Amino acid sequence: PEAASVGMTEEEASRSGRRFRSFVFPLAALGRAHTVGDAEGFVKVLLEEGTDELLGVHVVGPHASELISEASLAMENLMTPDDFLRGVRPHPTFSEALAEAVELALGRPLHVALRKGSS
């Protein structure tokens, strides 16, 4: 599968001493992935605790190399998660996976269930 990333990995964030949370949105929960028959993969976002600064985005799956540019632009412009979510993403598209991952990180996912004790 394609893979692309921008920013820190979990290991890099840990080594830097920053406190962070990571969230994984599975492409299996994305409508577009099913319409094209390729639902393997995920989008992972890392947010700094306390500030919600976007520390890293990692995409594995279809169109990863095309999706990462939106995450790169958000990080370069120091967008907050809410700023990022103001963007328009048509349905059904793979770009929705980025928004879904950020929504999950904010505790308000649309297509996946929160685990007990998370939010």
Catalytic positions, written as ranges: 91
Alpha helices in 16-95, H assignment, sequence order: 31-35, 64-76, 81-85
- Report the b/e string of 92-118 with b at 16+ CB within 10 A: eebbbbbbbbbbbbbeebeebeeeeee
CA dist., res. 55 & res. 71, Å (int): 10
19, 111, 113 from 117: Cα distances, Å: 19, 18, 12
